[in-house]
Structure 1
Amino acid sequence: MRIALFSGNYNYLREGANQALNILVRYLQDACGFSVRVYSPVTDTPAFEPAGTLVAVPSIMLPVRNEFRLALRLPNGIRDDIRRFSPDLVHVSTPDILGLRAQTFAMKLGIPVVASMHTRFETYLRYYGLDWARPALDAHLRRFYRRSDHVLAPTESLVSELRALRGDDRVSLWSRGVDTTLFNPDKRDAQWRRDIGIGDGDVAILFFGRVVVEKGVDIFVKVANDLQAKFHNVRILVVGTGPAAGLFETLPGTVFTGHLAGEDLARAIASADIMLTPSTTETFGNVLLEAMASGVAVVSADAQNARTILTSGQDGFICPPTDCGRYVSVLTELIESENLRKSIGLAGLRNSRQYSWERASGSVANVYRSIAAAG
C-alpha cells in the first residue's frame, strides 16, 4: 500500500504525537512493506530524523507559540506530488488547515481518508484566554472527524465519544506503546542525581514533557511550592523545554535538564522518585507509560487518558485537575513513605508492560487494509 500522511509537526519538535506517527511509519515500511510519504511543515533545526519520505509544506511561524508552524494551504506543487505518488489512502493527523485541505483533496480524488486524534485541542483555549472561540472550534472538530472515512483514537473512551459524534462505528482504537528496553528501573543512577545536586535523601519530583502552560505548569508550581514549604528535602526535576519554563523560577533548587533523548532521557526519568503530571489536554500521554516503565510513582490529573492507564491507589494516583490540596495530600504520603513509592512504582511497571508499539502500529495497518479491501 501507498500511504500519504499529513502532520502539523512531524519532526521539528519532539512530542508524543509525532513520536507515535514516526514509530507507525517505521512499522508500516519495515514490517508491512508499505510506502509512506509524509507532508508536514519543517524547520532548519529538526528535533530528530524523520521516518519515511518527508515532503516539506510551506508554512509560517505561529505568533503566540512561535515554536510551532502552520501551513496555510495545500500548494499546487504538493497536490502534483500527491497525484504522482497516487496513494491508496490519506491519513490526516492534525485538524489544522493542512489536514482539512488534504481531506478535501483526497475526497476530490476519490481516495479514502483516515483521521487520527492526538490532542484535545479544545482544552487549550482556556489557557490562552480564548474560551469564547470554543463553539467554533467544536464545530470545526466535528466536521473534521465526520468527513473522514475512518477515525483512530488512543483510548476506548475516546473511541466511544467519536462514534457518538459521527453516528457510526467507523472509529477504531490506536493505542500506544513503550520501549521497556529503554525505559526501565535499572536506568536509575544515584551518582547522576548527586552530580546535578539531588542528594541521596532528597525526593525528586519530576515534571516531564513540553514546558507549556497547557500541561498544567501553573498547578505543578503551586503544588511544588506548598511541598517545599513543608519538606526541606523536596527537589524539582524538569525534563523538557518550552516557553513556560520561567514559571519554575519560584521553586528554589529546581534542576532543568533541557531536552533529553535516548539513554540520557531514560536515566533522568528513572532517577526521579515521583512524577506529577497535572495536564488534562492529552489524548493518551506517553509520559505516563514511560515513567511507569521506569518504576516511578505517578500522580496525574483526572482526565480520560489517566483513567484509561491508571487505577488510582494501585499503580498511580489520580487527583481532581485543579485541586492543589489533594495533590499535596497525595504527594505528602508518597514523600513520607519510600515503601509506598516503591509499591506504586512496581505496580505501574507491571501495568506498563501490557503496552506494545508493535501491537499498536499493527492495529493501524489492519485498519488501512480493511479500508482498502472495502474498495
Structure 2
Amino acid sequence: MSRAAVDSRPLRIALVTSSYNYIKDGVALTLNRLVAFLESRGVEVLVFAPVSATPAFPHQGRLVPVPSIALPPRPEYRLALGLSGAARRQLLDFDPDIVHIAVPDLLGHAALALAEQHGIPAVASYHTRYETYLRHYWYLSPLEGSLKAMLRRFYGRCREVYVPSDSVRAALLADGLADNFKPWPRGVDTGRFSPARRDPAWRTRLGIGAEERVVLHVSRLVREKRLDTLTGALAKLAARGIAHRAVIVGEGPDRAFAQAALPHAIFTGFLDGDDLADAYAGSDLFIFPSDSESFGNVTLEAMASGLPCVCADATGSRSLVADGDTGLLAHADDADGFAAHLTRLLQDEALRRRMGQAARALALTFSWDETMGRMLGYYRALADGKTGL
C-alpha cells in the first residue's frame, strides 16, 4: 500500500487475545475498555479471540473467533489453539498497522509469527505473571524455568511490551527479559468506586451490624490468589477473638476450600457493577495476599472506595500500596504477618481512617482515559515509524 493511502485511512489495530468475552476477568475487561476507547477515537480494531457458546458479557468491537478448547484443569478458561486459515486471511485482509498480542500462548505465537512474516509491527501487553501460577500446581511447577525462557524469547521479538507497573518491569528485567518496556498502568472509575456509596442497607442485607468491622476480599477463588494465606490470616483473627466480619466476593473452583476454612465468613459469589461497588464502600478494610498480580485492579478499586489495603509485598500490589501510608504489606506466605496487620487496623480507627483517605487520594490519580490515551499514543508513534517500511 502506498504512503498516501496509509496516511489517509484510519489507524488499524489487530488485537489478539485468549480472553475477551467468554469470561469476565481483568484481562477481558481491560481489553474491552481499550477497544471501546479506540473506536471512539476513530481507530479501526479487529479482535481475534476464543469464544464460548454463552458469552459472559456483550463485547466491544468486531470479534473473529479462533479455534479453542476448554482448558483441561480449568474448564472456565479456554485454550486457544492458534489462528485458523480463515482467521489468518481475515487478519491479513484487514491490513493492520499494528498487531497487539495480549497473551503469549499458541494464539499469541501464531499471531507474532504471522506479523513477522508480513512485516507488521507486533507489540504485546503484559497482564499476568504466568510463571507464578505454576508454583501452585505441583505437576506444573517443574516447568517454571522453561516458561521463563519462552517468555524471554516471545517478548524479545515484540517491538514494544506494555507493562502495568514498575514492579513488574523490575521483575521481568531480573528474569533476563529485554528492556523494550513501556508503562501502561490501569485506571479506575472513581465515581462508581467511592466511599460516598456507603449505605447501611448493604450491611443489613448481609446481617452485619452497623458497628461491626468488615474485612473484604475480592478475587477469583483460585489457589494462585493465595487463598491459603487469606484463610490462614482470617482464621487466626477468629481464633484470637479479634472482632470482625469477613466478606469474600468472587467465584471459582476453590470456593469450597475457602468456605470450609472460613465457616463464619460471608460468601457473596461473583459481583460486579454497582453491587461490587457497594461491597467495597460498605467494608472497612481490604485484604489481598495474591503474589501473581501484574497490577491489581481490585486493590485499586478498594483504594478508590476509601479502604486501607493489606496486600502482598509483591508485584502489582507493591506499586499501588504505599506501606504505612495507604495500607500495609506482608510477604505472601506470611499468614501471621497478615493477621497482625489486620488486627492493627481493626483496633485503630484513626489509622484506618487516615490510610483510607490516603488510599482514596492516590486512586484519584489513576484515570482510564489517560491510560487508554497513552496506548493510542504508543500506537500512533509506532505506526508513523512504520510508514517508511
Q: Which amino acid aligns with 1:66?
A: P
CA distance in 1, matches of 2:332, 2:245: 22
Unaligned 5+ segments in structure 1 are: none
Question: Is the counterpart of residue 236 in structure 1 residue 249 in structure 2?
Answer: no
Q: CA deviation at 1:233?
A: 3.3
Other-structure match for 2:44: 35
- Residue 137 of structure 2: which of 122, 125, 128 is its match? 128
How far, CA to CA, are the matches of 2:239 and 2:211 in structure 1?
17
Q: For residues 342 and 167 of structure 1, what CA distance do their matches in structure 2 show?
A: 42
Aligned length: 373
Alignment partners' CA distance in 1, 2:257 and 2:211: 26
- Output the CA distance in 1 between the equivalents of 2:211 and 2:69: 48
Structure 2 counterpart of 1:282, from 293, 314, 326: 293
Equivalent position amino acid for 1:370 in 2 = A
> Secondary structure at 2:279's aligned position in 1?
helix
Unaligned runs of 5+ residues in structure 2 are 1-10
Identity of aligned residues (%): 42
Find the counterpart in structure 2 of residue 152 from structure 1: 162
Partner of 1:366: 377
Tell me which amino acid in the other structure corresponds to 1:270.
A
Give the one of 249, 272, 275 matched to 1:261. Answer: 272
Which of 24, 29, 40 is residue 19 of structure 1 equivalent to? 29
Q: Cα deviation per residue 1:311-331 (whole Å; 9 max; x = unaligned)?
A: 101111111111111111111
How far, CA to CA, are the matches of 2:251 and 2:21 in structure 1? 16
CA distance in 2, matches of 1:105, 1:2: 16
- The residue aligned with 2:86 is 77
Which residue of 352, 357, 367 maps to 2:363?
A: 352
* TM-score normalized by the length of structure 2: 0.93
Mapped to 2, the partners of 1:227 and 1:316 lie a distance apart of 18
Counterpart residue identity of residue 242, structure 1: G
Normalised by the length of structure 1, the TM-score is 0.96
Residue deviations 1:212-242 (CA, integer Å, cap 9, x gap)? 1100111100111110122363221111111
SS in 1 for 2:370: helix
The separation in 2 between residues aligned to 1:47 and 1:255, in whole angstroms, is 24
Q: Work out whether 1:95 is the aligned partner of 2:123.
A: no
2:213 corresponds to which residue?
A: 203
Task: Give 1:161 deviation, angstroms.
Answer: 5.1
Contact 1:91/1:113, CA 8 A, preserved across alignment:
yes
Contact 1:8–1:98 (CA under 8 A) maintained in structure 2 = yes
Is this contact kept in 2: 1:162–1:171, CA < 8 A?
no
Give the counterpart letter for 1:51 in structure 2. Answer: Q
Paired residues for 1:274-353 under 5 Å: 274-353=285-364
Query: Structure 1 residues 163, 253: closer, same or farther in 2, change over 3 A?
Result: closer
> Structure 2: how far apart are the matches of 1:247 and 1:167?
39
The question of whether the paired residues in 2 share the 8 Å contact of 1:288 and 1:298 is answered with: yes
Alpha-carbon distance in 2 for matches of 1:104, 1:5: 14
